[in-house]
């Protein structure tokens, strides 16, 4: 049964990051890198968060980019978060 779960996306990633997420405040947003281990490599993943009208809004992103090193994946997630903010700003939450 677990084979079928993995085949159809029901399985979980192999390993979550053991480190606290790398963070960066950027243009009033908070970017948090949350890479996870998948297929023996670290996959780019993170969140973009901002307080809007007294309420925390969050956008989670996952990219196909994978790295052998967790820190490289976290650095890439921070860069992707900055790119999302530059391109979309607060529209990312709609």
Q: Which two tokens stand for residue 1?
A: 């049964």
CA gyration radius, the chain: 15
Q: Where are the domains of the chain?
A: 13-93
Neighbours of 81 (CB within 10 A): 26
21-35 pLDDT tens trace: 899 999 999 999 999
Instruction: Encode pLDDT of 33-56 as tens digits.
Output: 999 999 999 999 999 999 999 999
pLDDT at 12 over 80: no
Structural domain 13-93, CATH architecture = 2-Layer Sandwich (3.30)
Residue 2 has pLDDT above 80, yes or no: no
Q: b/e string for 23-39 if b means 16 or more Cβ within 10 A?
A: beeeeebbbbbbbbbee
Mean pLDDT of the chain: 87
Residue 6 has pLDDT above 60, yes or no: no
Instruction: Return the number of other C-beta atoms located less than 10 Å from residue 61's C-beta.
Output: 17
**What integer pLDDT is reported at residue 7 of this predicted model?**
42
């Amino acid at each position: 049964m677990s084979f079928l779960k993995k085949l159809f996306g029901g399985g979980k990633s192999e390993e979550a990051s053991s480190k606290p997420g790398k963070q960066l405040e950027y243009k009033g947003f908070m970017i948090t890198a949350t890479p996870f281990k998948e297929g023996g490599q670290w996959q780019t993943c993170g969140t973009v968060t901002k307080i809007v009208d007294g309420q925390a809004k969050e956008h989670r992103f996952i990219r196909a980019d994978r790295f052998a090193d967790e820190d490289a994946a976290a650095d890439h997630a921070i860069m992707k978060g900055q790119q999302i903010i530059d391109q979309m700003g607060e529209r990312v939450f709609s």
